[in-house]
């Protein structure tokens, strides 16, 4: 097993090998913004899903207005986050900003929202990546769920190996997608404006149209807000930039802004002129690419490939950010400690595995259909936006440094807008799945508080400040008891070992079968085992309870505050499956006894060799010990 693990995730790495490569702007941009940029691959589609069924063909006119208002929201966010970058040069994720400025509960809300979001990022991006593949190769459509799971599996393995810190190749997919999208937008516009291309007639869309209402507009707006997911990544990752880090991070943020305007706006415009209709079979972006580049053309396939690549990249950012977040939460005591422990390859392996499993479950439950997953997504993102911005306001208010009012205003406006957006999204998407977020959030927070309480309790009970240092009575501790099922080599070994530590040893046998008990008694005599043998009957074929009863009885133990010692022979086989073939009574007895405060358990191993060589043992025996025929 050990070798298989090594093969799968690689040789272990030394702690001293832990170092983070610092990004230049050129390298940092693609790595930190792939999530935000990739959202474009599905944001337009989500808006159209809302509009088309009600507005029909006229939807395309309104698409641009919705896009523009989302871009306006983005610009507010960008300004707000510039300030976060300045204040948190070591990385200011929502969890950390809330924790420092708003207190426990808000930080837990942020932590829980982010947790849910990272899981959704993986599920959504992997699903969308596969949707890009199946749009190009429709025959793969029936296999999209296994395909998605395979991609998640590969990312998991990759991240367990620790690719996140080393792969320079990671900037390629983002630039690749960027270039392909720009080519598509330009070609599309040129084809339309100068070559008079008219969109193929759309099927199944009514020519008549309903009224545009505020409600419908907000609905479309909240659907499109998925385009903004991933914007906070830059402010999380400031520490990863080369000096001057904050300056570089802000540059990246500015570029990100321009890129989103360019490609989100561009794709929206293309949707309008090429009349893409969202469907479960073909993504909107692939429909556009098909018309622009021509069906089955090389560039079309290249575009699909680029989309898949950037979406997988986006999923991958969750794989590198989520375990880190979880390790912060675990360090603060709100999540199991294991999440704050680096694995063989220095990655936080437990967090990676948890993320992968949760995402895989989502993919299976939602049948690999993004359209059903996305409503859950945006709510959490905007809750954490709001908290992070509010935290910044609080920071300015408390610090009251020069110009704080101006700064608080910017973040305050950001907080207000994102809060409103969060509410709009929640209302619009509530019945479509967002309710699940409002069920999961309180549960997650409750769980985290519960865990914290537990760790506090453990710490207080382990603390040496209690001044409780029990001294045990040595005579009682040396009262050994050895539960046995029969008399064999393993028992003899245990007895002889126990004799080294104590001269007060009792063997204890629970009789469930009279014949066997009789045999044991005879053997006991024959081999002249010179320790007392206590036999108790058990009517219910129960072995452990009679043992505990006996230990706790006055017959055996005289004081309940002193430790007594149980000696257990335990089989161990060289092959892993060997353990299945034994009753494992020893394991069961031990786990029961260890729940008793004052019973210590000594386990004496007896190895069953796969290749048994009597002569070798005899030699060894002769060399070291006089051969004896009884244990006396």
Binding mask 539-568 for its own copies (x = CB under 8 A): xxxx----------------x-xxx-x---
Q: For its own copies, which residue of 501, 532, 555, 558 counts as binding (CB under 8 A)? A: 501
Token readout for 240 is 């990863």
Going along 473-613, which residue ranges are E strands? 479-484, 504-511, 533-537, 564-573, 599-608
Considering beta carbons, is residue 158 or 336 the nearer one to its own copies?
336
Q: Scanning the structure block, which residue is given the tokens 């030699």? A: 619
Binding mask 215-234 for its own copies (x = CB under 8 A): --------------------
Residue 338 CB, shortest distance to its own copies, in Å, is: 6
Residues 586-605 that bind its own copies (CB under 8 A): 590, 593-605
Q: Round to the nearest angstrom and report the end-to-end CA distance of the chain.
A: 42
Q: With CB under 8 A as the contact rule, which of the stretches 63-71, 155-163, 241-249, 570-578 interacts with its own copies?
A: 570-578
Considering beta carbons, is residue 143 or 454 the nearer one to its own copies?
454
Considering beta carbons, is residue 1 or 214 the nearer one to its own copies?
1
Considering beta carbons, is residue 4 or 625 the nearer one to its own copies?
625
Considering beta carbons, is residue 72 or 501 the nearer one to its own copies?
501
Residue 521 in contact with its own copies, rule: CB under 8 A = no
Distance CA 615, CA 135 (A): 69
Q: How far is CA 597 from the centre of its chain?
A: 35
Residue 140 in contact with its own copies, rule: CB under 8 A = no
Distance CA 223, CA 363 (A): 20
Residue 443 CB, shortest distance to its own copies, in Å, is: 14
Q: Scanning the structure block, which residue is given the tokens 């093969």? A: 7
Q: Taking the CB of residue 575, how many other CB atoms lie within 10 A of it?
A: 10
Considering beta carbons, is residue 222 or 565 the nearer one to its own copies?
565
Q: For its own copies, which residue of 69, 187, 502, 517 counts as binding (CB under 8 A)? A: 502
Q: For its own copies, which residue of 24, 75, 496, 530 counts as binding (CB under 8 A)? A: 496
Half-sphere exposure of 626 (CA within 13 A, CB side): 5
Residue 193 in contact with its own copies, rule: CB under 8 A = no
Residue 450 CB, shortest distance to its own copies, in Å, is: 9
Q: With CB under 8 A as the contact rule, which of the stretches 40-48, 172-180, 213-221, 577-585 interacts with its own copies?
A: 577-585
Question: SS in 3 state form for 331-363?
Answer: HCCCCCHHHHCCCCCCCCHHHHHHHHHHHHHHH
Token readout for 258 is 């321009």
Residue 540 CB, shortest distance to its own copies, in Å, is: 5
Q: With CB under 8 A as the contact rule, which of the stretches 14-22, 98-106, 130-138, 187-195 interacts with its own copies?
A: 14-22
Considering beta carbons, is residue 295 or 628 the nearer one to its own copies?
628
Q: Scanning the structure block, which residue is given the tokens 């479960």? A: 280
Please return the burial class of 484, using the count of CB atoms within 10 Å of its CB with bins 0-12, 13-18 and 19+.
buried
Residue 324 in contact with its own copies, rule: CB under 8 A = no
Q: Taking the CB of residue 354, how many other CB atoms lie within 10 A of it?
A: 20
**CA 491 to each of CA 484, 502, 511, 541, 569: distance values in angstroms, whole numbers, following the listed order:** 7, 16, 17, 21, 6
**CA 364 to each of CA 149, 355, 370, 403: distance values in angstroms, whole numbers, following the listed order:** 9, 14, 11, 51
Considering beta carbons, is residue 406 or 609 the nearer one to its own copies?
609
Considering beta carbons, is residue 337 or 406 the nearer one to its own copies?
337
Residue 474 in contact with its own copies, rule: CB under 8 A = yes
Q: With CB under 8 A as the contact rule, which of the stretches 165-173, 330-338, 408-416, 437-445 interacts with its own copies?
A: 330-338
Distance CA 102, CA 163 (A): 35
Q: For its own copies, which residue of 342, 432, 449, 521 counts as binding (CB under 8 A)? A: 342
* Residues paired with 569 in a beta bridge: 604
**Cβ pair 96, 238 in contact under 8 A:** no
Considering beta carbons, is residue 213 or 460 the nearer one to its own copies?
460
Residue 268 CB, shortest distance to its own copies, in Å, is: 41
Q: Is 538 helix (H, G, I), strand (E, B) or coil?
A: coil
Q: Tell me the chain's radius of gyration from C-alpha atoms.
A: 33
Considering beta carbons, is residue 406 or 454 the nearer one to its own copies?
454
Q: For its own copies, which residue of 462, 515, 553, 615 counts as binding (CB under 8 A)? A: 462
Q: How far is CA 231 from the centre of its chain?
A: 20
């Amino acid at each position: 097993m050990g070798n298989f693990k090594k093969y799968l995730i690689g040789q272990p790495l030394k702690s001293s090998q832990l170092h983070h490569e610092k990004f230049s702007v050129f390298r940092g941009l693609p790595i930190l913004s792939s999530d935000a940029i990739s959202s474009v691959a599905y944001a337009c589609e989500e808006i159209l899903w809302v509009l088309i069924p009600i507005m029909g063909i006229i939807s395309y006119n309104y698409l641009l207005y919705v896009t523009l208002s989302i871009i306006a929201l983005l610009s507010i966010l960008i300004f707000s986050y510039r300030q976060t970058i300045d204040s948190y040069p070591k990385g200011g994720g929502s969890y950390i900003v809330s924790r420092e400025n708003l207190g426990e509960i808000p930080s837990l809300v942020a932590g829980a929202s982010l947790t849910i979001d990272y899981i959704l990022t993986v599920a959504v991006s992997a699903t969308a990546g596969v949707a890009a593949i199946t749009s190009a190769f429709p025959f793969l459509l029936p296999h999209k769920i296994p395909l998605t799971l395979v991609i998640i599996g590969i990312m998991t393995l990759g991240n367990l190996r620790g690719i996140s810190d080393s792969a320079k190749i990671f900037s390629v997919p983002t630039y690749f997608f960027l270039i392909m999208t720009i080519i598509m937008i330009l070609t599309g516009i040129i084809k339309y404006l100068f070559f008079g291309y008219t969109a193929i007639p759309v099927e199944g869309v009514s020519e008549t149209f309903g009224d545009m209402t505020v409600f419908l507009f907000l609905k479309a707006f909240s659907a499109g807000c998925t385009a903004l997911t991933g914007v906070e990544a830059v402010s999380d990752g400031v520490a990863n930039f080369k000096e001057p880090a904050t300056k570089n991070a802000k540059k990246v943020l500015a570029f990100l802004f321009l890129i989103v305007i360019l490609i989100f706006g561009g794709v929206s415009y293309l949707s309008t002129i090429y009349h893409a209709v969202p469907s479960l079979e073909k993504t909107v972006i692939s429909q556009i690419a098909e018309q622009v580049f021509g069906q089955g053309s090389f560039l079309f396939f290249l575009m699909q490939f680029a989309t898949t690549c950037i979406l997988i990249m986006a999923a991958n950012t969750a794989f590198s950010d989520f375990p880190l977040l979880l390790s912060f939460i675990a360090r603060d005591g709100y999540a199991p400690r294991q999440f704050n422990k680096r694995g063989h390859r220095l990655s936080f392996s437990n967090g990676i595995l948890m993320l992968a499993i949760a995402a895989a479950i989502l993919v299976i439950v939602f049948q690999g259909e993004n359209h059903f997953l996305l409503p859950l997504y945006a709510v959490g993102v905007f809750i954490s936006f709001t908290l992070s911005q509010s935290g910044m306001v609080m920071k300015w208010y408390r610090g009251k440094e020069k110009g704080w009012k101006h700064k608080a205003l910017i973040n305050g406006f950001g907080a207000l807008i994102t809060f409103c957006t969060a509410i709009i999204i929640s209302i619009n998407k509530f019945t479509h799945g967002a309710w699940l977020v409002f069920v999961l959030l309180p549960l997650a927070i409750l769980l985290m508080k519960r865990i914290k309480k537990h760790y506090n309790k453990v710490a207080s009970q382990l603390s040496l400040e209690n001044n409780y240092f029990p001294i045990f009575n040595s005579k009682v501790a040396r009262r050994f008891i050895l539960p046995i099922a029969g008399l064999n080599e393993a028992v003899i070994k245990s007895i002889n070992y126990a004799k080294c530590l104590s001269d007060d040893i009792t063997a204890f046998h629970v009789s469930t079968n009279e014949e066997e008990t009789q045999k044991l008694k005879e053997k006991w005599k024959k081999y002249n085992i010179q320790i007392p043998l206590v036999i108790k009957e058990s009517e219910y074929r129960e072995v452990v309870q009679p043992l505990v009863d006996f230990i706790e009885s006055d017959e055996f133990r005289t004081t309940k505050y002193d430790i007594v010692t149980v000696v257990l022979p335990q089989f161990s086989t060289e092959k892993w499956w060997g353990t299945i073939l034994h009753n494992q009574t020893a394991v069961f007895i031990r786990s029961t006894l260890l729940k008793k405060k004052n019973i210590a358990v000594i386990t004496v191993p007896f190895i069953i060799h796969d290749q048994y060589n009597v002569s070798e043992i005899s030699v060894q025996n002769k060399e070291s010990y006089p051969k004896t025929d009884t244990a006396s």
